Amino acid sequence: MATKVHMEALSPTMEEGQVVKWLKAEGDEIANGDVLAEIETDKATMELVARGEGILQKVLLDEGGTAAVGALIAVIAEDGEDISDLVSEGDDATGEGSGEEDEAAAKEGEEEESKEEEAEAAPERDKAPAPEEGEEGDGRVKASPLARRLAADQGIELRSIEGSGPGGRVVKRDVEKAMEEGVPDAPRTTAPDSEEDYVDVSLSQMRKTIAKRLVESLGPVPHFFLTVDVDMSRAVEARKRVNALLEKEGKKISFNDIVLKATAMALRKHPECNAHWREDHVRRFNRVHLAVAVAIDDGLITPVVRDADRKGMAEISAEVRELAGRAREKKLKPEEYSGGTFSVSNLGMFGIEDFTAVINPPEAGILAVGALEERPVARDGEVIIEPRMKITMSCDHRVIDGAQGARFLQSLTGILEEPLAALI
């Protein structure tokens, strides 16, 4: 009996996924639990495993293609089993069978070779004269699965090939022709001196999710902002002493690690800020799970340091480094970037003095940490130079009132300006 391979929800917030790479090809024998493909979710690249066994009879979604959660993207069946009805179902689910340009391509399947031969005899008017006609709606080049695999094997850029298939689709014959005749250099997409007026950049699953979440946050969530300017003199001294102790172990802590520890301790004192908005109630957490913003190529992800208030700075430092490294490789597990109770975003390493961050719903607050800078300040009637750091708290006014946010920042400032206060 045939097994349907669906686009699975590989992260808690995933609504659609993109096939990064098929690890199995049509005709391969599949065992239950085999890894079929790498799927880019809204947060990371995850493995899609087989839920049945047999032969991978049909791949319905090309590498680079996207499909909604639940859509049929491949079929595993016994050798010779009729899967024509399932193939039609998959075409509809992934959008391959809709639209005039894709009508012929949707039937390609196992008849691809003969279709490509028919396309050779098609009149010139049926061929795509312009590059736009050979692109998908998301900017990807239209190409048959066979053509994609052949081009990838030969290291040929699909954009450099003029497609002769339906709607400008690149088919096997086009790739073979390019292999024989050679292809021009692929068009540049990011060169600043390009003669093109603009470049369209396709959205990754993460960027799509970021855009959606920002709309959900800045629109419905009533933000207000509180800023403190912290004297970091004693934090600077404390870091030097701690790093001297850790040097033997080859470890060290950063100012961000100090801020994370101080934030976690302040949240433990102020559970009204360590909270989520739940529409009909506010949930205050007894445990502090800090979500730490990490910049990656596709946008921003927030791996979570669980029970941060119970961990030392060296442990927090090691955990953040390890999570951030795997975040940049898109190897985080869903439980490692979900479940945060409060967030911290630090742009100080980029020289940003201060900024405001957008709350990540349903969390009620986020800290925006600026650069540590030596600045002139007035003290006892004299101007002196001190290491200062500006920290801005974005608050959801439905959960946190101004006085509550101010008291939390007072506690945070007190810990940073006198690290020994953390022992009290």
The per-residue pLDDT for 151 is 73
Whether 178 and 270 share a structural domain:
no
pLDDT of residue 220: 85
Please check whether residues 192 and 213 belong to one and the same domain. no
pLDDT of residue 155: 64
User: Do residues 91 and 157 share a domain?
Assistant: yes
Give the Å distances, CA to CA, from 304 to 82, 134, 396: 47, 42, 20
DSSP state of 205: H
Domain boundaries, position 119: 3-204
Same domain, 310 and 414: yes
CATH, residue 66:
2.40.50.100
Q: Is residue 345 located within the same domain as residue 248?
A: yes
pLDDT at position 215, please?
74
Domain C-terminal end among 204, 239, 263: 204
Q: Are residues 175 and 232 in the same domain?
A: no
β 290-292/304-305 pair status? antiparallel
Together in a domain, 9 and 87: yes
- Dihedral sign for Cα atoms in the order 368, 371, 375, 380: positive
What was the pLDDT predicted at 91?
Answer: 55
Residue ranges of the chain whose pLDDT lies below 50: 95-133, 137-138, 185-191
- Local structure of 174: helix, strand or coil: helix
pLDDT tens profile 218-228: 778 899 999 99
Same domain, 192 and 250: no
Q: What is the DSSP letter of 15?
A: S
Number of domains making up the chain: 2
Q: Is 397 a catalytic residue?
A: yes
Tell me: do 133 and 226 sit in the same domain.
no
pTM of the complete model: 0.61
Q: Residue 287: give its domain's CATH number.
A: 3.30.559.10
pLDDT of residue 81: 85
Report the half-sphere exposure of 295 (CA within 13 A, side-chain side): 6
Catalytic residue, candidates 6, 270, 276, 397: 397
E-only strand ranges, 92-244: 223-231
Q: Of 177, 204, 231, at which residue does a domain stop? A: 204
